[in-house]
Amino acid sequence: MLRTRVNARVAAAAVLAASCSPARAQPWTPAASVTPVASAADSCPPSGCSALADAGVGIVSSCAGAVEVKGDVRILGGVGDCFFVVTPAPAATDYTLELDTRLAEGPGFGIWMRGSYDNGSVVSLGIQYDPGAGGLKFVHYPDTASSLHFLNHACDREWHHWKLIGSSGTTRALLDGVQVLEFSGGGVTGSQFGFRTWGGKFELRKLQVGP
pTM listed for this prediction:
0.61
CATH superfamily of 14-210: Exo-inulinase; domain 1 (2.60.120.560)
Higher pLDDT, 89 or 96: 96
43 contacts 66 by C-beta, under 8 angstroms: yes
- Examine the pLDDT at 128 and tell me if it is beyond 50: yes
Higher pLDDT, 176 or 40: 176
Domain range summary for the chain, segments of one domain joined by + = 14-210
The values of phi and psi at residue 126, to 5°, are -145, 145
Q: pLDDT tens digit string along 151-203?
A: 666 667 888 899 988 888 788 889 899 888 887 766 666 777 777 777 777 77
B/e letters for 132-145, b = 16+ CB within 10 Å, e = fewer, are eeebbbbbbbeeee
What is d(CA 177, CA 121) in angstroms, rounded to the nearest whole number? 32
Mean pLDDT computed over 131-157: 72
Q: What is the pLDDT of residue 163?
A: 92
85 contacts 194 by C-beta, under 8 angstroms: yes
